[in-house]
Homo-oligomer: A and B are copies of this chain.
Amino acid sequence: MALANRDLVTIDDMSNGEIEALFSLADDMSASMGQQFGLCRGKVLASLFFEPSTRTRLSFEAAMHRLGGGVISAFDAGATSLAKGETIADMARVVGSYADIIVIRHPWEGAARVVADYAGVPVINAGDGGHEHPTQTLCDLYTLKKEKQTLKGLKIALWGDLKYGRTVHSLACALARFGATILFRPGPGLELPEHVVRKLTTEYGGELRRYESPGQQEEGQLLPLDAMYVTPSSPHQLAMMPDVSFQVELKTGVDALYVTRLQKERLAATDKPSYPVVNKKLLKGKEYERTLVMHPLPRVDELAQEMDGDPRSMYFKQAERGVPVRMALMALLLGVREAGQVGEGAGSRKPAYPPYRHDSGLRCPNQRCVSVQESETKYLKPEFLVVALEPLTLRCAYCEHDFHPGYVASTEWHEGRTDTRIYHRASSQWARKIKPENLLVFASEKEAEARGFKPDHLIGAAYRQVDQD
């Protein structure tokens, strides 16, 4: 289970066993924080923050100092000039030749993957746009594990902005992997995006139930009827419960309530008063006596100050534990400590989707993806995985954005007609007949035709229809 010389770009780069081994080392670090300064003597961390995140930066830098290493740091204006007029790959190669390990935050989604590909030293993603922030997830899981001894079977409610928060998406997937049950309680209009729901159920073995409330939400109630509910599909025990048991089960309480920042500007004006603040009143029921209150910080108003002294409040402990977790992570990636053998095997938890093999001019449609930035297209070859055929779904290998290309063709000019190149709607029956290894996809008719393909008769008919109108 060697983590040495590996990268941590997404939480799925580590197996459950590796994560548990990391937590065990974090316990050691925590127990003798002041005695670790010999571990990384002579080592150098490069801390590159191309977006403000002082808290995360300071946590990593403190962790490296605790390990006795040095830190070279670029942030804000300084970081901007680092990248001026040069590619992320060039920057990664140069800084990788100065330092033994790199931590990077960057606004472009997938940027940390590119840095990892070129740096030649271990790279830790400290946030790449809306994509991933895996060490935050590790800190969250570590706190849950420490307080509840296990992650399996925990019941965790995620609360607040479930739409834009990458923290909560990563945490949900990680909780599903460890067999926790998750209840989603979004702010109005801030529901979990469909692609995360799909991931949870198709990739992490979750079963989904959605409870639609017939009327209005009851104000100030922890979990209303229209919550979403993901249980681990194995064992199927919980999932087989009839709907009516939901409220019953809720009465047994939740193990943790994970609150996220509600950015006021994202709530409609009328919704503001209706969304309950997490405070002592909300959690006064006997069923919440042992409910941990968690938050990635910084908070605004969604979490009352009066909770600070409450023994259930974990948010400052989450921050504090970020240091030993990051010490353990860097010690493992640098190979100065070995991870003990814990649980299941080593390596990535990423599902093995088939790659999309052909260059049909396809670009990732995510405008914040590193692979479509002008400076990076000089050297980055777009890469995609085929994650589903119905509906046809491709995933960008950089930013992991899922999308549904509209048109397809085959490299085998199917049905024996090799003399013509025909393209079809991705939703058509023809599309389904194409073998994955032969698949060509196009974002638009224009793109397909620019590549020398002609529409099939259904698309053609629609054309003619338009012409006659």
8 A Cβ contacts from A36-71 to B = 36-37, 41-44, 46, 52-55, 57-59, 61-62, 64-66, 68-71
Tell me the nearest residue of chain B to A65, going by C-beta.
B70
**Bound CA–CA A36/B42 (angstroms):** 7
Q: Is A97 a contact partner of B42 (Cβ separation < 8 A)?
A: no
Instruction: Please indicate the chain B residues that have their CB under 8 angstroms from the CB of A73 in the complex.
Output: 73
Segment at the B interface, from A78-86, A125-133, A188-196, A432-440: A78-86
Which of B42, B64, B81, B93 is A35 in contact with, Cβ under 8 Å?
B42
Q: Is A297 a contact partner of B90 (Cβ separation < 8 A)?
A: yes
Contact A378-B305, Cβ < 8 Å, known A74-B54, A78-B54, A78-B76: yes
Q: Does A209 contact B (CB under 8 A)?
A: no
Which of B52, B62, B87 is A72 in contact with, Cβ under 8 Å?
B62
**Bound CA–CA A136/B90 (angstroms):** 18
Write the nearest CB–CB distance from A164 to chain B, whole angstroms: 15
Q: Does A323 contact B (CB under 8 A)?
A: yes
Q: Is A53 a contact partner of B81 (Cβ separation < 8 A)?
A: yes
Q: Does A259 contact B (CB under 8 A)?
A: no
Q: Is B59 a contact partner of A98 (Cβ separation < 8 A)?
A: yes
Tell me the nearest residue of chain B to A61, going by C-beta.
B72
Which of B61, B81, B298 is A85 in contact with, Cβ under 8 Å?
B298
Instruction: Please indicate the chain B residues that have their CB under 8 angstroms from the CB of A62 in the complex.
Output: 44, 46, 70, 72, 98-99
8 A Cβ contacts from A2-57 to B = 33-37, 41-44, 46, 52-55, 57
Q: Is B90 a contact partner of A299 (Cβ separation < 8 A)?
A: yes
Contact A98-B58, Cβ < 8 Å, known A70-B65, A84-B298, A299-B86: yes
Instruction: Please indicate the chain B residues that have their CB under 8 angstroms from the CB of A76 in the complex.
Output: 76-78, 81
**Bound CA–CA A43/B37 (angstroms):** 9
Tell me the nearest residue of chain B to A99, going by C-beta.
B62
Contact A297-B94, Cβ < 8 Å, known A41-B37, A42-B34, A44-B65: yes
- A residues lining the B interface (CB < 8 Å): 33-37, 41-44, 46, 52-55, 57-59, 61-62, 64-66, 68-79, 81-82, 84-87, 90, 93-95, 97-99, 297-300, 305, 316, 319-320, 322-323, 378-379
Can you give 6 contacting A-B residue pairs, CB < 8 Å? Answer: A33-B42, A41-B68, A44-B65, A46-B58, A46-B62, A62-B99
